[in-house]
Copies of this chain bind each other. A is one copy, B any other.
């Protein structure tokens, strides 16, 4: 059905300018928006799109208010406001609490009566499923594991034994929480497995992407703090700690025993080696390898440039001779001084 601007503002705050009775049914980007949709301007460089948009209303900051005559909501953070409007207009799918007759819930598991367990899901002995949590088809919650309230496990999520997940978590399909860390002791040219007896402990409001893996600790726990957002196909090794409200984009890897601070942003396909410490408020660029601890907030990058193949071959051929090139420069410098 939709909501009027007045209704939106009464729920989310902000100030309505223009007709407060405009009905909004959906959100859209400025360039794609149609009648009945609301868009937003977070960056003044999109002002041309704002001028042309067919959206019925827009969300703007006070300093951009004059850029449009459309009905609008004026607020401090238009992008976050837009996210909240979208949440209002696109609420999570409702579900009927139930343990499906084709689910497999151990007699010693504790499942909240307000939770839903889909067909084929398994909840093992001693596991707990919190209030209003939704465990999708084919998920596996291991013995003694705990899923907090208001969580959503999409189909085919696996949570190994004894791991703990806080409130309001979203785990996408194929995520594996608590598989064994990669720990072996070398002996006579072979590998002796070190039992991985720690857990994974995940805070509140965490989202974990599809096919992401977070290994259990060797002896202590692997910890994901509150508000961490992890994209798809991310690998977090054993004994790591990811600080609160840190975001990690897809294909990132964090090797074992590394601690990442709070409020960090890790770009796609970044790799962070093991046993490092990354400070709070660090941004790591996409495709960057971090091989040393980072003590200071800031942005860190290590992307090797690509080019058309012929140019790349020309300059990359010199990389392996950089030390001798530097030697030649030094020789020239010495001769000059004579």
B77 touches A187 (CB 8 A): yes
Could you say which of B245, B268, B288 contacts A255, with CB atoms under 8 Å apart?
A: B268
Q: How far, in Å, is A268 (CB) from chain B's closest CB?
A: 5
Q: Any chain B CB within 8 A of the CB of A32?
A: yes
* Interface residues contributed by chain A, number (CB under 8 Å): 122
Please give, as numbers and ranges, the residues of chain B lying within 8 Å of A286 by CB-CB distance. Answer: 255, 271, 273, 289, 291
Contact partner of A209 among B158, B182, B187, B336, CB < 8 A? B182
A to B CB contacts below 8 Å, 18 in the list: A28-B219, A83-B184, A83-B193, A86-B194, A87-B193, A93-B143, A104-B137, A154-B179, A174-B176, A235-B251, A284-B306, A289-B303, A298-B308, A300-B306, A304-B316, A318-B325, A329-B329, A332-B332
Query: A residues bordering B, Cβ < 8 Å?
Result: 26-29, 32, 77, 79-80, 82-84, 86-87, 90, 93, 102, 104, 118-120, 122, 136-138, 140, 143, 154-156, 158, 160-161, 170, 172-174, 176, 179-180, 182, 184-187, 189-195, 197, 205, 207, 209-211, 213, 215, 219-220, 227, 229, 231-233, 235, 237, 245, 247, 249-251, 253, 255, 263, 268-269, 271, 273-274, 284-291, 298-309, 311-323, 325-326, 328-329, 332-333, 335-336
